[in-house]
Structures are given as structure tokens and as C-alpha cells.
Structure 1
Amino acid sequence: MTTKLVRNSTRILVVNPNSSESMTHGIEKAIQGLHLPQSLEIYTYTAPPDAPASINNGEDVEKSAEVVYQNLQGKLGEYDAVLVACFSVHPLVHALARDAPHATVTGIFEASVLACLPLLSPPIPGDGKEGEKPMSWGIVTTGKFWEKHLSDGVKEFLGQERGDANHKFAGVQSTGLDAGDFHGGVDPVVIRQKLEEATARLLSSARVECVVMGCAGMAGLEEIIRSVARREYGKSAGDKVFIVDGIKAGIGLLEQTVRNRKMFQS
């Protein structure tokens, strides 16, 4: 009898480009909570010690990209996809995609944008009141630096000029915390307060239907955002707000994209 392999596993590497092991553990916890097909294998990677422990600004982004890029040279051949787990316009996404053309590469920032767009309710002609804003999505993140960085990044990713208006994007609100603060750096009471305040500003600025957690370190904090949505919009409407975790969005996007590449390039 002759047999042949007709189906194999999809292997995804999730790259934490900072050197925090606790951040990677948080990412792993988020992944373990997903209902995934048995054919999907997920591996995690933490950057070497010379990478920043927390990515808080443009210099940290560049340094982490430099360290991780060098460390991963020649190590991506066995993976079908790579997820860069830093919520930023991270140079690793482009660099790894260029050097590993066999693999699908994205970041949690890009995956979150793509996850939000189909979740927004389509406009109903003639249903909206004059001057009423369309349903939109927005980001709650860590430090002030990210407000402009991510706002510009959204427009660039969607092919817009930076000065153009995007009525479906409610913008970015920051907590004033660093990524590392979400993993033991700050009292949980302070984290909750800062995240609640940033979420409230976002929800009051527009008709927000989808909130993105703009930091991998926020994994598991959906309940805080949900509580604010209920307070701002009422329980019924607040329960309908989508809360997007970039890690989950990235895994889902990559799993589907790998399958699409196999189907449509055969």
C-alpha cells in the first residue's frame, strides 16, 4: 500500500521583541485561551537580554528590531508564519517578510486594524440623524508617544495621507503607563484606574463599536474595558462593544492567511 501526506501542521512563531519573559508568559496565556485547530502549532520567542525590557518609544522600537533581526537570522525556515507581538509600526514586520518570503508575517498592530474593520456595523442609508457620527473603532495604549505614532500608522497602513480624515477611526488614547507596568511594574489598582480613564476618553469621543488594546501587555484586561463600556453606553450597548486583543487577532489572521496562500497559489 502506498500513502502520501495530504495535510500537515501550520507552524506560527510569536515574537516578543522585548526581553521581558513575563510579557511572553502573558502572551502565552492569551494564546492558551483560544480555541484553535489541532493542526496549528504555536511557538513563542523572547528577545535576548540586550533588547529593551519594555518598548516605550521610537528608540526602543529601533533597538528591539536590530537585536531581534540579528538573533533570528537563519531561524525562520521551519515556520509558516510569524507574528511580531509589539503594538507599533515595527520594522521587524517588513524586515522578516523580506528575508522569509515563504512565511506570512504580520504584527499585532496590523492584525488588529484588519480585525476591526469588518466588525463595524455597516451604515444604513437614511437611518442616521443629521450630524451623527458613524460607528468607529479606536485604540487604548500605554504612553503618550504612541498616540501620534499609532494614529499616523493607521493612516499609512490604510493608504491615507496623514492629514486626511478617517471618520471610522476614533483615534488613540493613552494611559500614561509603560508596557512593563502591566506585568508587575505598577499596583493593579493604578493600572485599572489609568486604563478606565483612557477608555472613557475614547468612548466619549465618538460612537465606538470596537476598542483595540494597544499593547501586548494588556492581554487579559478586557473586563476593565468592558466595565467602562457598560458605564458609558449602558449595559446592553456596552456588552456589544468588541474588545480586540492583538495577539488573538494576529493568530486568527495568520492561520487564515496561511491557508489562503496554500489554496490560491497551488
Structure 2
Amino acid sequence: MRNVRIVVTNCNTTREMTEEIVRGARAAAGPGTTVTGLTPAWGPESAEGWLDSFLSAAAVMDALRTYDGAPYDAVVMAGFGEHGREGVRELVDVPVVDITEAAAHLACLLGRRYGVVTTLERSCGQIEDSLELAGVGRNCAAVVGTGLGVLDLGDRDRTGAAFVAAAERARAAGAEVLVLGCAGMTGLERVVGDKLGLPVVDGVGAAVKLAEGLVALGLTTSRAGSFARPVPKRRAWGAE
């Protein structure tokens, strides 16, 4: 397979988190794949709710629209449950893989029902909506919060304990596979997988592997219908 160049977009402005996500993406990437992180120049410090998510979507699209770095073959959107996925697919001419969707699709290959363990409870409804929009919501047994904010995830011992406790609730709801519900949890699957006795899917790694596969197969977003290029808008009446 030829070398693949992937841009991974963080959904917030915290560069330390971008660096952590990129490390996870590179660990999952195959030989010859180049991973570049992209941090929005503006937007929320951490995306934790509807308002943050909509601001984040605009900021990520703006970052890609004004991107002037090396050419890339695919985009991985590293915001779990965040908005903007469909807009980016309309914007760029390469495959766009969202970590939410990627993790859920892989989880469906490993068990009949999966559970998502995420950060704050307030994010659960947003994630459920994203999964429904992606067509994988019916296989989701539960979306469970750990009670930790995005910026709290750096404490791996605390995060691991909170994840295991939340994962037990997801398993009790019928989950046969678990999904890390935040890009900041990348790497945690290696820590908690054995404790839980269930497969644990990291969305960043899943998205990277799917992006590599789409590039290798020469596939990208369809321009028929939903993601067709928008028709240029006419000037409003009376505009000069």
C-alpha cells in the first residue's frame, strides 16, 4: 500500500490533547502512514455540550478550509459525538472518518450490542443522536458517563477506575463490546480491556485503520445526492 497521509482534527483548542490523540493515531497507523494533528485556532477549550459542539464544528471546518500544510489523503475527526461530520464530508475531497462512527462500526463486528463509556452525563444524549444519524444507534445498549470532564482524563488511574465502574453499568445493560467515548481516552483500552473481559474499541485507532483502508481502495465521499457540491447562491434581492 502506498504511503497514506492522514490529518487528525481535534475538536477543541487544547494542544496537549491534540498531541495525545496524534500519539494514539500513530500507534494504530500502518508503516508508511503519516499522521498530522490539526488544532482549531478558536473554539472551546474542551467540547462538553451542545453549544461547545456546534462551535467546535464551525472551528474544525474553518481550520480545514484554511489549511495550508502538506497535502493529505484522509481526515480523521477526533471528536466523539461532536457535530460537523457531514459538513466536512461536503467540504473536502478525501475520505472523512469520524471516530464515533468508526468505533461503533467496528464494535458491531465484534458483538451484537455495544456500550459507549464517555465523560460527562450531559454528553450522552448528543452521542446517542450521532450514533443514530450514522445508522448504528440500534446496536447501542447504553451510553454511560464517567462523571469526568475532558480535561480530567490526564489522570489515568482515576480515569481507569471511573471507566471500569461505568463499563459495568454498560455491560449490565447488555453491552458485549465497549467503546471509548472520548478521543482523550485513547490508550485506555490497553489498561482496562483485561479487567473487563470484553473487547474495548478505541475510536481513534478504528478511524485511522478505516481511513487507511478507504485510501487503499481508492474510495472517497460520494458526490451524488447528500454530499453533492452546493449550488452557488444568488445574490439577495436588492444587494449591490
TM over 0.5: yes
In structure 2, distance between residues paired with 1:8 and 1:190: 41
**Structure 1 letter corresponding to 2:103:** S
AA paired with 2:159? I
Runs of 4+ in 1 over 3 A off after TM superposition: 187-190
- Would you say 1:53 and 2:45 are equivalent positions? yes
Q: Name the counterpart of 1:257.
A: 214
Equivalent position of 1:79 in the other structure: 72
Contact 1:200 1:228 in 2 (8 A): no
Q: In 1, distance between residues paired with 2:190 and 2:64? A: 35
- CA shift digits 1:128-164 (9 cap, x unpaired): xxxxxxx42110001112222212322221177xxxx
Matched AA of 1:60: D
- Any conservation in 1 of the 2:183–2:203 contact (CA below 8 Å)? yes
The one-letter code matched in structure 2 to 1:198 is A
Tell me the residue number matched to 1:30. Answer: 24
The structure having more radius of gyration, on CA atoms, is 1
Supply the distance in 1 between the matched residues of 2:94 and 2:217 (Cα, whole angstroms). 12
Corresponding residue for residue 212 of structure 1: 179
In the aligned structure 2, how far is the partner of 1:142 from the partner of 1:99?
29
1:200 aligns with 2:174: no
AA aligned opposite 1:96: V
Percent identical among aligned pairs is 28
Identify the residue that residue 65 of structure 1 maps to in structure 2. Answer: 57
Correspondence 1:157 to 2:134: yes
Contact preservation (8 Å) 2:8, 2:22: no
Residue 15 of structure 1 and its aligned partner are, at CA, apart by: 0.6
- In structure 2, give the amino acid aligned to 1:249: A
Question: What do the CA deviations read for 1:27-76 (whole angstroms, capped 9, x no partner)?
Answer: 122123235132x222111122x321111001111111222322322427
Cα distance in 1 between the residues matched to 2:171 and 2:119: 17
Measure the CA separation in 2 of the matches of 1:145 and 1:35: 32
TM-aligned CA distance change 1:74 to 1:46, over 3 Å? closer
Corresponding residue of 1:9: 3
Q: Structure 1 residues 72, 140: CA separation in 2 closer, same or farther (over 3 Å shift)? A: same
State the 1:194 CA deviation. 2.0
Q: Does 1:42 align with 2:35?
A: yes
Q: 2:146 aligns with which of 167, 175, 184?
A: 175
Tell me, yes or no, if the aligned pair for 2:28 and 2:208 is still in contact at 8 Å: no
Alignment TM-score, normalising by the size of structure 2: 0.82
Partner of 2:153: helix, strand, or coil? Answer: helix
* Deviation per residue, 1:220-246 (Å, 9 max, x gap): 2224532541xxxxxxxx1xx211111
Give the distance between the partners of 2:211 and 2:156, measured in 1 at CA. 32
How far has the Cα of 1:12 moved from its partner? Answer: 0.9
Count of residue pairs brought into register by the alignment: 220
Say what the alpha-carbon RMSD is for the aligned residues: 2.4
Q: Deviations over 1:5-31 (max 9, x none)?
A: xx8532110011211111112112212
Secondary structure of 2:142's partner? strand
Offset, 1:262? 5.4
CA shift for structure 1 position 181: 0.9
Letter in 2 for 1:109: T
- Paired position in structure 1 for 2:236: none
Q: Aligned partners of 2:219 and 2:117: how far apart in 1?
A: 35
TM-score (norm 1): 0.75
Alignment partner, residue 227 of structure 2: none
5 Å matches for 1:138-153?
A: 138-153=115-130
